[in-house]
């Protein structure tokens, strides 16, 4: 493969943070004699993408196969993009500085809806035709995957194949299939047809698209263009997750990145059932790694990387059945060594006094809790099975353990929300501050801070709220201002997400194939790095929609009956559409559903459909219990 380093090096002196583009970081894998080359690209800058666990996991899986070399790729920052275009340098991989166009497979993860235009920037900068239909025999196959793959249609024109679900096994399977077929002289069309037979793999080119009226009549939006193609794609699940080592080789970057620490995944999945949460639906069932696996892996990872901080990652780390034992052991092993333990966020009903002491030892930064809604009524609607008493108990424990800063996450615009619910956010936040203020000596009160972060509700595919619309941006700002005016304490700081970007996020979350044209035209009009507030170009999206005759508000804000067939109905997380519809009806009745890892099965269907049950390292302790899980 071509080494572009001689072309890249002269550009580095002209760009900010050149270490983003320098290879030979500690921990990189080099297999220059491989006969099959795969690159996995994060469609944003190195600082954001390097910490992405999917990049590490999947490149390690491919590199474990003899003769295959998996490299990483990132979208350069805007200054470097301009320099590369001027110099005619195509997008390159990190390890080998090789042009992406020369790889057998280019994988692009889809981490969030606002990355859509960055996917096109990646392809164009690499010199790869944007649309799969325009690619020839000499072009690499372009694969997609990640969270947004659960509604793949707005991206479908740009990918040859889209992997649905967890990729530890499917990525290796598809790479081996492509390698063997290329060796046998198969055409691109033959390879695509074969890929469509791999469970969990969607090949959009091989399917037609019905009109909305036809889709509602037929119960699906797609139809196969060839015989023998599946009409429904179930996600892949890595059945061996619980037994797999929590530590695997990691790259240590030259430059500071987001989440610049050792990340160890302790469990996968969450059965709490928050009705707005896509991740809670798409990663079911729950699988826990054992305490011994986690503790040994943390020790090995710190020794291999030199980090002094470790984050125990998952959707709900403090739900792990052995979390207190894990934290106790790690604190004992690293006592006096300056190692900091962190948990990304804390569940209110899993966080007692002992947990507060265990999370970070002597180093007290800030703690994050997510009540999500300001009133118990609305928390019942969204199935957030926590109470104000849970929040107050968690805050009391944190203050007693030495914390002086607290961050609270809420959503605005949730289904059935009223002004009283918005005012409830202000009331609850001020109550938290007052409890903290009363619990500390007068001389420490000046250090107290409560940060309130408000996201705008985005209806996500594959959730019970997928049929509910988003409130208009102007209504979102009215509610934000109502909240701001309702908060009286100066120590309570309010921040909120830009409703304009959340609007595009909702558009991409709910749309179908018609959005492929919108994404491309918005990109051609200058949209890229849409997740960056300073680079987001709302006008590009608005003008593109007007030119194409698309009403984005109709897509983002429409509310449907549960009988309405949505554009992603052929893609399954394992949870049944009937269960999602039932959960939406429960929301309308303000009725909650218990977590099946603590209670009885809720009937979501994931275990039965996918053939994988919840795998816990030990019995989960109900909220309010002081028992500690035994290490096994």
In the prediction, which pLDDT does 363 show?
58
**Averaged pLDDT for residues 395-410:** 88
Residue 163 has pLDDT above 50, yes or no: yes
Q: Which of 395, 475, 386 is nearest to 432 (CA)?
A: 395
Task: Give the integer Cα–Cα distance in Å for 382 and 464.
Answer: 9
| 560 contacts 580 by C-beta, under 8 angstroms | no
Please say if the pLDDT value at position 360 is more than 90. Answer: no
3-state secondary structure 411-457: EECCCCCCHHHHHHHHHHHHHHHHHHHHHCCHHHHHHCEEEEEEEEC
Q: Which residue has the higher pLDDT, 367 or 248?
A: 248
The pLDDT of 220-228, averaged and rounded, is 96
Q: Are strands 262-265 and 233-234 parallel, antiparallel or unpaired?
A: unpaired
In the chain, what are the helix, strand and coil shares in percent, each to the nearest 5? 40, 15, 45
Mean pLDDT, to the nearest integer, of 424-434? 96
pLDDT digits (tens, 9 = 90+) for 131-140: 999 999 999 9
- Is residue 632's pLDDT more than 70? no
**Cα–Cα distances in angstroms (integers) from residue 140 to residues 105, 127, 192, 373, 511, in the given order:** 5, 11, 12, 46, 27
Percentage of the chain lying above the pLDDT 90 cut: 85
Q: What is the pLDDT of residues 589-628, one digit of tens each?
A: 999 999 999 999 999 999 999 999 999 998 886 554 433 2
pLDDT higher for 396 or 352? 396
Distance CA 439, CA 483 (A): 26
Structure tokens given for 65: 């196969």
What is the phi-psi region of residue 58: left when phi exceeds 0, alpha when psi lies from -120 to 50, beta otherwise?
alpha
pLDDT at 447: 85
Average pLDDT over residues 12-36: 95
The pLDDT, as a whole number, for residue 596 is 94
Q: Which residues contact 125 (CB under 8 A, 6 or more apart)?
A: 75, 76, 81, 84, 85, 90, 91
Give the strand pairing for 309-313 and 262-265: parallel
Residue 136: both structure tokens together: 């020839």
Dihedral (C-alpha) 85, 91, 97, 101: value to the nearest 10 degrees?
-120
pLDDT digits (tens, 9 = 90+) for 181-194: 999 999 999 999 99
Give the pLDDT of residue 348: 72
267-307: pLDDT as tens digits: 999 999 999 999 999 999 999 999 999 999 999 999 999 99
Give the burial class of 303: count Cβ atoms within 10 A of its Cβ; 0-12 exposed, 13-18 middle, 19 or more buried: exposed
* Least confident interval from 114-118, 194-198, 213-217, 366-370: 366-370
pLDDT, the chain, mean: 93
Mean pLDDT (whole number) for 502-516:
96
Give the pLDDT score at 631: 24
Query: pLDDT tens digits, residue range 302-324?
Result: 999 999 999 999 998 989 999 99
At 489, the pLDDT band (50, 70, 90 cuts) reads confident
Rounded to whole angstroms, the Cα distance separating 624 from 330 reads 24
- Measured at the alpha carbon of residue 328, what is the angle toward residues 323 and 331, in degrees to the nearest 5? 125
Collapsing DSSP to helix, strand or coil, 39 comes out as: strand
Spatial distance between the Cα atoms of 550 and 555, rounded to a whole number of angstroms: 9
Q: What is the pTM of this model?
A: 0.95
pLDDT in tens, 574-586: 999 999 999 999 9
* 437: its two tokens: 């203020």
Backbone torsions φ then ψ of 268, nearest 5 degrees: -130, 135
pLDDT at residue 297 in the model = 97
Residues 293-302 pLDDT 10s: 999 999 999 9
User: 438-460, pLDDT tens digit by residue?
Assistant: 988 998 888 889 999 999 999 99
- Two tokens, residue 576: 């049944």
Q: Is 335 helix (H, G, I), strand (E, B) or coil?
A: coil
* Model pLDDT for residues 521-554, shown as the tens digit of each residue: 999 999 999 999 999 999 999 999 999 999 999 9
The set of residues, in sequence order, having a beta carbon less than 8 Å from that of 264 and lying 6+ positions away, is 246, 247, 294, 297, 298, 301, 310, 311, 312, 313
């Amino acid at each position: 493969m071509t080494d572009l380093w001689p072309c890249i090096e002269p550009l580095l002196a002209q760009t900010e943070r050149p270490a983003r583009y320098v290879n030979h970081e500690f921990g990189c894998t080099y297999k220059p004699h491989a006969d099959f080359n795969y690159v996995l690209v994060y469609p944003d800058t190195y600082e954001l993408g390097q910490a992405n666990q999917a990049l590490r996991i999947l490149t390690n899986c491919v590199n474990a196969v003899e003769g295959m070399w998996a490299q990483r790729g990132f979208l350069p920052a805007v200054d470097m993009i301009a320099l590369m275009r001027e110099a005619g340098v195509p997008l390159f991989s990190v390890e080998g500085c090789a042009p992406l166009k020369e790889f057998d497979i280019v994988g692009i993860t889809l981490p969030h809806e606002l990355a859509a235009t960055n996917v096109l920037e990646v392809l164009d900068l690499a010199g790869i035709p944007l649309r799969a239909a325009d690619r020839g025999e000499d072009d690499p196959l372009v694969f997609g995957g990640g969270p947004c793959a659960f509604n793949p249609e707005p991206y479908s024109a740009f990918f040859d194949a889209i992997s649905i679900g967890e990729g530890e096994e499917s990525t290796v399977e598809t790479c081996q299939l492509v390698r063997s077929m290329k060796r046998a002289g198969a055409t691109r069309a033959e390879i695509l047809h074969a890929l469509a037979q791999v469970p969990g793999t969607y090949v959009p080119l091989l399917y037609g698209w019905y009109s909305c009226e036809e889709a509602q009549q037929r119960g699906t939006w797609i139809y196969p263009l060839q015989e023998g193609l599946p009409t429904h794609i179930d996600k892949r699940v890595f059945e061996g997750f619980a037994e797999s080592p929590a530590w695997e080789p990691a790259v240590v970057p030259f430059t500071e990145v987001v989440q610049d620490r050792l990340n160890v995944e302790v469990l996968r999945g969450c059965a709490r059932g928050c009705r707005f949460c896509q991740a809670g639906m798409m990663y079911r069932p729950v699988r826990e790694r054992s305490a011994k696996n986690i503790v040994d892996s943390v020790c090995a990872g710190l020794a291999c990387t030199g980090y002094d901080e470790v984050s125990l990652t998952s959707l709900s780390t403090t739900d792990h059945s052995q979390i207190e034992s894990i934290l106790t052991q790690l604190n004992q092993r690293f006592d006096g060594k300056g190692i900091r333990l962190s948990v990304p966020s804390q569940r209110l009903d899993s966080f007692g006094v002992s947990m507060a002491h265990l999370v970070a030892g002597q180093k007290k930064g800030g703690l994050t809790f997510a009540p999500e809604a300001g009133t118990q009524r609305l928390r019942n609607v969204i199935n957030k099975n926590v109470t104000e008493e849970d929040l107050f108990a968690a805050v009391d424990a944190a203050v007693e353990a030495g914390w002086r800063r607290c961050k609270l996450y809420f959503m605005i615009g949730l289904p059935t929300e009223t002004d009283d619910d918005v005012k409830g956010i202000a009331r609850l936040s001020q109550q938290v501050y007052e409890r903290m203020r009363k619990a500390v000596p007068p001389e420490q009160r000046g250090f107290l801070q409560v940060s309130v972060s408000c996201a705008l509700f985005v209806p996500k595919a594959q959730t019970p709220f997928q049929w509910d619309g988003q409130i208009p941006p102007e209504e979102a700002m009215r509610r934000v201002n109502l909240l701001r005016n309702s908060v009286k304490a100066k120590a309570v700081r309010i921040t909120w997400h830009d409703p304009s970007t959340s609007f595009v996020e909702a558009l991409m979350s709910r749309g179908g194939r018609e959005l492929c044209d919108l994404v491309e035209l918005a990109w051609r009009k200058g949209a890229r790095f849409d997740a960056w507030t300073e680079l987001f170009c709302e006008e590009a999206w608005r003008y593109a929609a007007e030119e194409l005759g698309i009403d984005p508000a109709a897509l983002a804000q429409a509310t449907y009956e549960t009988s309405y067939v949505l554009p992603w109905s052929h893609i399954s997380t394992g949870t049944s559409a009937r269960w999602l519809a039932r959960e939406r009806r429960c929301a309308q009745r303000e009725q909650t559903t218990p977590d099946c890892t603590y209670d009885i099965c809720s009937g979501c269907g994931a275990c039965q459909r996918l053939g994988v049950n919840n795998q816990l390292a030990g019995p989960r302790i109900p909220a309010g219990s002081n028992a500690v899980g035994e290490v096994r």
